[in-house]
Amino acid sequence: MAKAGDLKTGNVIRFNGELVTIDELNHRTPGKGGAFYTGKMRSIKTGKIIELRMRTDEEVDICRVETNDYQYLYEDGDYFVVMDNVSFEQFNVPKSLFGSSARFLREGMNVIVSMESDEPIIAKAPNHVELEIVYTEPAVKGDTSTNAMKNATVETGVEIKVPLFVNQGDKVKVETATGAYVERVK
Protein backbone atom coordinates (compact mmCIF):
# COMPACT_ATOMS: atom_id res chain seq x y z
CA MET A 1 0.00 0.00 0.00
CA ALA A 2 1.19 3.49 -0.87
CA LYS A 3 0.44 6.77 0.87
CA ALA A 4 -1.45 9.68 -0.68
CA GLY A 5 1.88 11.56 -0.58
CA ASP A 6 3.16 9.18 -3.31
CA LEU A 7 0.39 10.12 -5.76
CA LYS A 8 1.09 11.88 -9.07
CA THR A 9 -1.22 13.26 -11.73
CA GLY A 10 -2.08 10.46 -14.17
CA ASN A 11 -1.91 7.66 -11.56
CA VAL A 12 -4.72 5.11 -11.60
CA ILE A 13 -5.95 4.21 -8.13
CA ARG A 14 -8.72 2.07 -6.68
CA PHE A 15 -11.05 4.45 -4.80
CA ASN A 16 -14.13 3.02 -3.05
CA GLY A 17 -13.75 -0.11 -5.20
CA GLU A 18 -13.74 1.89 -8.44
CA LEU A 19 -10.81 2.60 -10.77
CA VAL A 20 -10.12 6.33 -11.13
CA THR A 21 -7.37 8.41 -12.74
CA ILE A 22 -5.87 11.39 -10.89
CA ASP A 23 -6.56 14.44 -13.12
CA GLU A 24 -5.53 17.21 -10.74
CA LEU A 25 -3.59 17.16 -7.47
CA ASN A 26 -2.89 20.09 -5.13
CA HIS A 27 -0.93 19.93 -1.86
CA ARG A 28 -2.44 22.11 0.89
CA THR A 29 -0.75 23.10 4.15
CA PRO A 30 -3.22 24.96 6.37
CA GLY A 31 -2.01 27.08 9.30
CA LYS A 32 -3.55 24.57 11.71
CA GLY A 33 -3.78 20.78 11.34
CA GLY A 34 -1.99 18.42 9.00
CA ALA A 35 -1.27 18.82 5.31
CA PHE A 36 -3.67 17.29 2.80
CA TYR A 37 -4.32 16.88 -0.93
CA THR A 38 -7.24 18.23 -2.94
CA GLY A 39 -7.94 17.72 -6.60
CA LYS A 40 -10.04 15.88 -9.12
CA MET A 41 -10.31 12.20 -10.04
CA ARG A 42 -12.10 10.78 -13.07
CA SER A 43 -13.94 7.46 -12.97
CA ILE A 44 -12.56 5.20 -15.69
CA LYS A 45 -15.89 3.41 -16.15
CA THR A 46 -18.29 6.37 -16.19
CA GLY A 47 -16.00 9.35 -16.92
CA LYS A 48 -17.58 11.18 -13.95
CA ILE A 49 -15.41 13.71 -12.08
CA ILE A 50 -14.99 13.01 -8.36
CA GLU A 51 -13.61 15.58 -5.91
CA LEU A 52 -10.46 14.38 -4.16
CA ARG A 53 -9.52 15.21 -0.58
CA MET A 54 -7.02 13.04 1.30
CA ARG A 55 -4.61 13.36 4.20
CA THR A 56 -0.98 12.97 3.08
CA ASP A 57 -0.59 9.80 5.19
CA GLU A 58 -3.83 8.18 3.94
CA GLU A 59 -3.30 4.74 2.37
CA VAL A 60 -4.09 4.46 -1.35
CA ASP A 61 -4.07 1.52 -3.73
CA ILE A 62 -2.05 2.65 -6.77
CA CYS A 63 -2.78 0.26 -9.66
CA ARG A 64 -0.08 -0.99 -11.98
CA VAL A 65 -1.36 -0.10 -15.41
CA GLU A 66 0.43 -1.25 -18.55
CA THR A 67 -0.25 0.62 -21.76
CA ASN A 68 0.72 -1.01 -25.05
CA ASP A 69 0.04 -1.00 -28.77
CA TYR A 70 -2.29 -3.73 -29.93
CA GLN A 71 -3.54 -4.68 -33.36
CA TYR A 72 -7.31 -4.63 -33.85
CA LEU A 73 -8.26 -8.02 -35.34
CA TYR A 74 -12.06 -8.27 -35.50
CA GLU A 75 -15.40 -7.51 -33.86
CA ASP A 76 -17.02 -10.12 -31.61
CA GLY A 77 -20.41 -9.05 -30.21
CA ASP A 78 -19.86 -6.28 -27.64
CA TYR A 79 -16.08 -6.73 -27.86
CA PHE A 80 -13.19 -5.97 -30.17
CA VAL A 81 -10.55 -8.69 -30.30
CA VAL A 82 -7.04 -7.20 -30.20
CA MET A 83 -3.62 -8.84 -30.35
CA ASP A 84 -0.50 -7.89 -28.42
CA ASN A 85 2.09 -6.93 -31.07
CA VAL A 86 4.90 -8.56 -29.06
CA SER A 87 3.49 -11.72 -27.42
CA PHE A 88 0.71 -12.26 -30.03
CA GLU A 89 -1.67 -12.90 -27.11
CA GLN A 90 -5.29 -11.95 -27.85
CA PHE A 91 -7.65 -9.99 -25.60
CA ASN A 92 -11.32 -9.01 -25.71
CA VAL A 93 -11.75 -5.28 -25.18
CA PRO A 94 -15.28 -3.93 -24.54
CA LYS A 95 -16.31 -1.70 -27.47
CA SER A 96 -17.58 0.89 -24.97
CA LEU A 97 -13.97 1.68 -23.89
CA PHE A 98 -13.28 3.14 -27.36
CA GLY A 99 -16.27 5.51 -27.17
CA SER A 100 -17.45 7.07 -30.43
CA SER A 101 -14.08 6.46 -32.15
CA ALA A 102 -14.96 2.72 -32.31
CA ARG A 103 -16.97 3.30 -35.50
CA PHE A 104 -13.80 4.19 -37.41
CA LEU A 105 -11.79 1.06 -36.50
CA ARG A 106 -10.67 -1.10 -39.40
CA GLU A 107 -9.17 -4.57 -39.09
CA GLY A 108 -5.37 -4.45 -38.82
CA MET A 109 -5.24 -0.96 -37.28
CA ASN A 110 -3.07 -0.28 -34.25
CA VAL A 111 -4.89 0.77 -31.08
CA ILE A 112 -3.64 1.64 -27.59
CA VAL A 113 -5.02 -0.33 -24.67
CA SER A 114 -4.24 0.11 -20.97
CA MET A 115 -4.55 -3.03 -18.85
CA GLU A 116 -4.76 -3.38 -15.10
CA SER A 117 -3.97 -7.01 -14.17
CA ASP A 118 -5.05 -8.34 -17.60
CA GLU A 119 -8.29 -6.36 -17.57
CA PRO A 120 -8.64 -3.65 -20.23
CA ILE A 121 -9.56 -0.35 -18.56
CA ILE A 122 -8.73 2.33 -21.16
CA ALA A 123 -8.72 2.01 -24.98
CA LYS A 124 -7.83 4.57 -27.64
CA ALA A 125 -8.17 4.48 -31.38
CA PRO A 126 -5.58 6.40 -33.40
CA ASN A 127 -6.31 10.17 -33.43
CA HIS A 128 -6.64 10.08 -37.22
CA VAL A 129 -7.46 7.23 -39.61
CA GLU A 130 -7.29 6.97 -43.38
CA LEU A 131 -10.44 5.50 -44.90
CA GLU A 132 -11.74 5.03 -48.42
CA ILE A 133 -14.94 6.75 -49.56
CA VAL A 134 -17.27 3.96 -50.72
CA TYR A 135 -20.21 6.19 -51.64
CA THR A 136 -20.81 9.91 -52.24
CA GLU A 137 -22.95 11.99 -54.57
CA PRO A 138 -21.07 13.46 -57.53
CA ALA A 139 -20.42 17.21 -57.18
CA VAL A 140 -22.92 19.44 -58.95
CA LYS A 141 -21.21 21.44 -61.73
CA GLY A 142 -20.98 25.12 -60.97
CA ASP A 143 -21.39 24.65 -57.19
CA THR A 144 -18.18 26.29 -56.03
CA SER A 145 -19.40 27.86 -52.78
CA THR A 146 -16.57 27.79 -50.28
CA ASN A 147 -16.76 25.28 -47.44
CA ALA A 148 -19.71 23.49 -49.05
CA MET A 149 -19.89 19.92 -47.74
CA LYS A 150 -21.69 16.77 -48.87
CA ASN A 151 -22.39 13.40 -47.25
CA ALA A 152 -20.04 10.49 -47.91
CA THR A 153 -19.90 6.94 -46.58
CA VAL A 154 -16.50 5.54 -45.56
CA GLU A 155 -15.47 1.87 -45.73
CA THR A 156 -16.48 1.25 -42.10
CA GLY A 157 -20.06 2.21 -42.99
CA VAL A 158 -20.04 5.59 -41.19
CA GLU A 159 -21.42 8.67 -42.94
CA ILE A 160 -19.27 11.80 -42.68
CA LYS A 161 -19.27 15.27 -44.27
CA VAL A 162 -16.62 15.91 -46.95
CA PRO A 163 -15.86 18.83 -49.32
CA LEU A 164 -17.49 18.74 -52.77
CA PHE A 165 -14.25 17.79 -54.57
CA VAL A 166 -13.97 14.43 -52.76
CA ASN A 167 -15.15 11.51 -54.93
CA GLN A 168 -16.00 7.86 -54.50
CA GLY A 169 -12.76 5.83 -54.29
CA ASP A 170 -10.76 8.68 -52.71
CA LYS A 171 -8.98 8.09 -49.42
CA VAL A 172 -9.57 10.67 -46.70
CA LYS A 173 -8.07 11.35 -43.29
CA VAL A 174 -10.73 11.45 -40.53
CA GLU A 175 -10.43 12.60 -36.92
CA THR A 176 -11.69 9.64 -34.86
CA ALA A 177 -12.88 11.67 -31.86
CA THR A 178 -15.28 13.86 -33.85
CA GLY A 179 -15.67 12.13 -37.23
CA ALA A 180 -14.49 15.34 -38.91
CA TYR A 181 -12.87 15.31 -42.36
CA VAL A 182 -9.22 16.41 -42.16
CA GLU A 183 -7.83 16.08 -45.70
CA ARG A 184 -7.79 14.01 -48.86
CA VAL A 185 -4.94 11.50 -48.94
CA LYS A 186 -2.99 10.84 -52.15
CA separation (Å) from 158 to 62, 63, 121, 128, 173? 39, 36, 26, 15, 13
* Average pLDDT for 118-132: 92
119 — pLDDT class (breaks 50, 70, 90): confident
pLDDT at residue 141, rounded to an integer:
67
**Is residue 17 scored above 90 in pLDDT?**
no
Q: What is the pLDDT at residue 144?
A: 62
pLDDT band at 162 (very low <50, low <70, confident <90, very high): very high
> What confidence category does residue 179 fall into, taking pLDDT thresholds of 50, 70 and 90?
very high
Which of 123, 126, 77, 81 lies closest to 104, judged by CA? 126
DSSP sequence for 91-132: EEEEGGGGGGGGGG--TT-EEEEEEETTEEEEEE--SEEEEE
* Tens digit of each residue's pLDDT (9 = 90 or more) over 98-111: 988 999 999 999 99
DSSP-derived letter for residue 33 is: S
Could you give the domains of the chain? 2-62 (2.30.30.30), 65-124 (2.40.50.140), 128-185 (2.40.50.140)
Q: How much is the pTM? A: 0.75
Q: Indicate whether 142 pLDDT > 80.
A: no
**pLDDT confidence of 159, banded at 50, 70, 90?**
very high
Give the tens place of pLDDT for each residue, 31-87: 888 899 999 999 988 889 999 999 999 999 999 999 999 999 999 999 999 999 999
Instruction: Give the Cα separation of 6 and 3 in Å (integer).
Output: 6
- Residue 79 is predicted with a pLDDT of 95
